[in-house]
Amino acid sequence: MALSSAGPGLPATAAPPLRGFDRVAWCYDALTALVFGPALRHTQRAALAGLPTGAPHVLILGGGTGWVLAEVLRRCPAATVLYLEASPRMLARARARLAPGQQAQVEFRHGTQDALRPAEVFDAVLTFFVLDCVAAPDLPGALARLHAALRPGGRWLLADFRPARRGWRRLLLAAMFWFFRLTTQLRARELPDLAAALTARGLRGEAQGRFYYGATEAVVFQ
């Protein structure tokens, strides 16, 4: 619960609205394509090889403008999806990608993993280039909340950057965090070892591939 600075009898100061990547929503896809070419989408496609078959209930966290949503529904036409995104402008762009007949399959919800409801469980949890945005003190809690939402035997599909201690990959990561701190007030300062963090939670990972000269990776955890 947020503390209020208002005096007695005055309304509490409202928390600032959650805006996520609103400032860069208009150019995000073009920007990532300019820097990385098709590598990020190749990484996501590799992770999507782990999607359950049939009609899975899927959580997409931080899916941005919705390319991955369209890809999930293309691969699993009977899937139902919770699309959870912190940027209202990204949500609007993702919603616009849906065909009219797909509207009933997708719930769009503004928020982070904290917006998940206690009883919600999913056959697959997709975290594509989003956990790197979580500040280090918040990461254990975020992973715990997402793990609790994964049905026993379900799959956690990860696509993200790999940590780097030196060289050009280290410089690239530093430049990315600087840019997004400047444009979106991102609190994260460095990239955690996400694969190791998920393995520590008792999940077993199967590598699906590395891309962009080893800078990104796709892993399916179960």
Q: Is residue 53 part of a domain?
A: yes
pLDDT at residue 12, rounded to an integer: 36
Residue 136 counted as domain residue: yes
Residue 31 located in a structural domain? yes
Report the domain count for the chain: 1
**Domain CATH number, residue 28:** 3.40.50.150
Any domain includes 107: yes
75 pLDDT tier (thresholds 50, 70, 90): very high
Phi, psi angles (nearest 5°) of residue 14: -70, 145
Q: Please tell me which residue, 210 or 166, carries the higher pLDDT value.
A: 210
The mean per-residue pLDDT over the stretch 61-69 comes to: 95
Give CB contacts under 8 A, 24+ apart, made by 180-184: 180/21, 180/24, 180/133, 183/23, 183/24, 184/20, 184/21, 184/22, 184/23, 184/24
pTM of the model: 0.89
Domain assignment present for 133: yes
Residue 170: give the domain boundaries: 22-221
Residues 117-141: pLDDT tens digits? Answer: 999 999 999 999 999 889 889 999 9
> 20 pLDDT exceeds 80?
no
Residue 15 lies in a domain: no
Structural domain includes residue 215: yes
In a domain, 120, yes or no: yes
